[in-house]
């Protein structure tokens, strides 16, 4: 059963477009116009820190993060991938998987920094066009992970 906290955004909402919803975690695609392909891997139960999980759950969760990273690399072909788990504003265990490009608004700084430049609309449109491939890649990789367990 999933434990929730009333004030927790990730307990109350899905956190994005659900690509995969398993027993222990879900994978969502964030609707971020500047960062097509920005995903989150979210633990379903309200947990604040990785060390609050049993070792087997930590391994399962991190395997999912690595599968999403691989899917983002395959589908989006970014210059770099950023993986982050902050939780300062939302203390619910989740990982950000963010495709980064040399010409993105914030590169080389984090996506949460002040924007340095606009991104060409044509570049954003090209990246957005890759989202169906990303969805399919995530589903394929997660299903492979599940079948190996």
Residue 20: give its domain's CATH number: 3.30.428.10
In a domain, 3, yes or no: no
In a domain, 87, yes or no: yes
Per DSSP, helices labelled H in the chain are 9-12, 55-76, 121-128, 131-148
In a domain, 70, yes or no: yes
Q: Is the dihedral of CA 142, 143, 144, 145 positive or negative?
A: positive
pLDDT at 89: 83
- Which residue segment(s) compose the domain that 109 sits in? 9-148
Q: pTM (2 decimals)?
A: 0.92
* pLDDT tens track, the chain, 149 positions: 345 677 899 999 999 999 999 999 999 999 999 999 999 999 999 999 999 999 999 999 999 999 999 999 999 999 999 999 988 888 899 999 999 999 999 999 999 999 999 999 999 999 999 999 999 999 999 998 877 76
In a domain, 119, yes or no: yes
Short-list 132, 125, 134, CA closest to 99: 134
Structural domain total, the chain: 1
H or E segment at 65?
Answer: helix 55-76
In a domain, 1, yes or no: no
In a domain, 2, yes or no: no
pLDDT at 1: 32
CB 24 within 8 A of CB 59: no
């Amino acid at each position: 059963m999933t434990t929730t906290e009333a004030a927790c955004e990730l307990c109350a909402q899905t956190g994005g477009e659900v690509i995969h919803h398993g027993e222990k975690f879900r994978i969502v695609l964030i609707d971020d116009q500047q960062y097509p392909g920005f995903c989150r891997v979210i633990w379903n139960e309200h947990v604040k820190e990785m060390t609050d999980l049993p070792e087997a759950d930590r391994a399962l969760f991190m395997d999912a993060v690595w599968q999403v990273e691989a899917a983002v690399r395959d589908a989006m072909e970014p210059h770099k991938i950023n993986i982050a788990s902050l939780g300062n504003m939302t203390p619910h265990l989740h990982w950000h998987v963010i495709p980064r490009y040399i010409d993105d608004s914030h590169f080389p700084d984090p996506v949460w920094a002040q924007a340095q430049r606009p991104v060409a609309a044509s570049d954003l449109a090209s990246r957005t066009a890759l989202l169906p491939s990303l969805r399919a890649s995530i589903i394929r990789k997660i299903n492979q992970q599940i079948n190996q367990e």
